[in-house]
Structure 1
Amino acid sequence: MVVGAVCLVAGVAGAALLFLWAPWPWAAAWLAAALAAFGGGWLLAGRFRGSWGYAEAEEELYLTYGVFVRQLVVVPYGRMQVVDVTADLLEQALGIATVRVRTAASTADTRVVGLPLAEAVQLRDRLAARSESFSTGL
């Protein structure tokens, strides 16, 4: 939500400049639009965050995500080729990471986002060990 806060500050700054140089209805409309965009973004951010989930079954990994279009991805452990943990600058600042799972011909977005770093490393290690034990010999 850091991006939303920065956009809100920019919107309020724009409204302040409009109050100085334009008639007040324009500035008030700009401020109302900035507040509405921030509120909508805040609500959607929570929905997007809550839409991501995963479950480890006996022979496959289940990933689910999506607010407007719900997706369920099933990745057999034997098809996993690479399991890695990534964290961009914002994720590092927040202490979270993303676990990416790559398969030979997968076109699905197979990643688990927003995990605490220690949990992401543990998940990566479990998935890597299971992918070796379920190897299909490809």
Structure 2
Amino acid sequence: MVDFAESPRTPRLAAPVLPEPKDSPVETAFAAPPGTEWNRLDPVFTRYRRLLTALVAVPAAALGGTGVGLWLHWAMGVAVAVLVLLAMAAAWVTAEGTRRSWGYAEGEHDFYLTFGTVIRQLLVIPYGRMQVVDVTANLLEQALGIATVRVRTAASTADARIPGLRLADAAALRDRLTERAETFPTGL
């Protein structure tokens, strides 16, 4: 009797894809600074992203589909509308993952910001390099009670924003960052 499990021709099933373990190189590279944890965005940010997507995609599908349908052929108009709505569905589904990818931490000497689902980024901004910290909120953000904190530095590539914070949390973060920026030397 032949044991087929031991046969070299038996195909092996791929192992299931599991989340990165806590001590993986990826998790270590994007870990919060020692002694801190990532502060995440408010869950309202997911609703904000979905509403913004719908406010743009639904009219684009209607107008684009109608325009192309009238200009070329009705079937092409339907195709354009379906493509726009599929893009909206993809943005709708990924909104929560986008929110979870954002995090910020206030270290002893630096401010840390991480974000990105496909391309992850980690920004480290020394408090002494911060020049302007401001809070902004568009009409939809105001209606939902959230705001964006923007940190500007001398290096234009290090400008950072933290969207989707509750208004009170955004104002408190702005005040803390401004205070810390004033107490640290500029290093210039």
Match of 2:52 in 1: 3
Query: 3-state SS of the aligned residue for 1:107?
Result: helix
Q: Is 1:115 matched with 2:146?
A: no
- Amino acid in the other structure paired with 1:98: T
More strand by percentage: 1
Cα distance in 1 between the residues matched to 2:127 and 2:136 = 20
Q: Is 1:80 matched with 2:130?
A: yes
**Structure 1: segments with no counterpart, 5+ residues:** none
Deviations 1:37-91 (A, max 9, x none): 3321111222222221100011100001112211100001111111111112221
TM-score, length-scaled by structure 2: 0.59
Q: Is 1:105 matched with 2:155?
A: yes
Query: 3-state SS of the aligned residue for 2:128?
Result: helix
- Amino acid in the other structure paired with 1:100: R
Runs of 4 or more off by more than 6 Å in structure 1? 12-16, 25-28
Deviations 1:104-133 (A, max 9, x none): 124134111110010000000001111111
More helix by percentage: 1
Which structure has the larger Rg over C-alpha atoms? 2
| Displacement of 1:137 | 6.2
Cα distance in 2 between the residues matched to 1:12 and 1:30 = 9
TM-score, length-scaled by structure 1: 0.78
Match of 1:136 in 2: 186
The number of equivalent residue pairs is 136
Structure 1, 28-37 or 56-65: larger mean CA deviation: 28-37
Sort the Cα spacing of 1:108 and 1:137 in 2 relative to 1 into closer, same or farther, 3 A.
closer
Match of 1:70 in 2: 120
**Identity percentage over the alignment?**
56
RMSD value, Cα: 2.8
